[in-house]
Structures are given as C-alpha cells and as structure tokens.
Amino acid sequence: MLWVFAVIGLVAVVLIGLVVVGGETARLAQVARPAVFDLAEAVDFIADRLPADVQARLTHDDVRWVLLADADLLEEFTAGPAERRYPWSRRPTAPEEPPPDTVVDELTSVARILDRSDQSGRALLDEDIVAVLDGRLAYLEAIGAVGPEA
C-alpha cells in the first residue's frame, strides 16, 4: 500500500515539473531574444562579408580595431562630462537639462576613424572603414539589434 502512495507522489511531482517547465518554455517562446553584440562574432561576421579587395587589405585585427575605434568615438561624441569612460576623467558638474539628441553621420565617423588611424600608424583607406561600418550594420540587423521588431 505504501508503494501506491509513493507512485502517486512521484507522478504528482513529475506532473508539476512538466507543467512548470512547459509553461516557462511557452512564455520564453513568446519573448524575443535579447540582441547581444559579441565582438569576436562580429569581427568574424564582418570579415567574411567584406568585398574581396577590402579583404585583401584588412586583417581581422584591423576590423576589430575599426569597430573599437568607432565605439570609442561614439562614446566620446555622445557622453556627457559625468559619463566619461574612466572615473578620473569625469568632471563634476551641476545638474542641468539633458543635451539635445546627437546625430553622428557616416562621414563624420569615417573622418574621425581615419584621423585616429593616422595617429596610430595604421594604413586604412576610407573605403575600408566604410565597408567595415556597413558590415557592422549588417551584423546588427542579423542579431536583431536594429531593423523591424522581432
């Protein structure tokens, strides 16, 4: 008789577990996956899709450098004084109205990356940088970070 209660208890535990797991699976199926920018994956994705002439000039390290330089420049361009990358570079300021939205166009990005590449001694052409930035946009679309709602 005791084994009947044990079997009924086991069936109840398994049934509860299946209902909970099934409900959570159904809930997660309805939620869009978060878009996560993985730098190593992005470098491979972009490098594989560059035009042949650009692939002949750029290494994976160059693609990584352009992506990081663009991210740094975007952060510099849009960060307020209290949001600097390193704590010691942040300047204390009084609270003020938020700044207006900032738009950074592609020409500005390319020019700033070219300037930074000249400063660092990298021999990059403007079409190389444009190709990498276009590839970055394709990667962002592929992971669902930009484009139509998933």
Residues 51, 79: one domain?
Answer: yes
Evaluate whether residue 149 is within a structural domain: no
- What is the tally of structural domains in the chain? 2
Read off the pTM.
Answer: 0.66
CA 123, 128, 133, 136 torsion: positive or negative? negative
User: What pLDDT is stored for residue 132 in this prediction?
Assistant: 92
Per-residue pLDDT tens over the stretch 4-26? 888 999 999 999 999 999 888 88
Name the pLDDT band for 146 (thresholds 50, 70, 90): confident
Residue 112 near residue 4 (C-beta atoms within 8 A): no
**What is the per-residue pLDDT across 61-85, written as a single tens digit (0 to 9) for each?**
999 999 998 888 877 777 665 665 5
Query: Do 59 and 111 belong to one domain?
Result: yes
Indicate whether 123 pLDDT > 80: yes
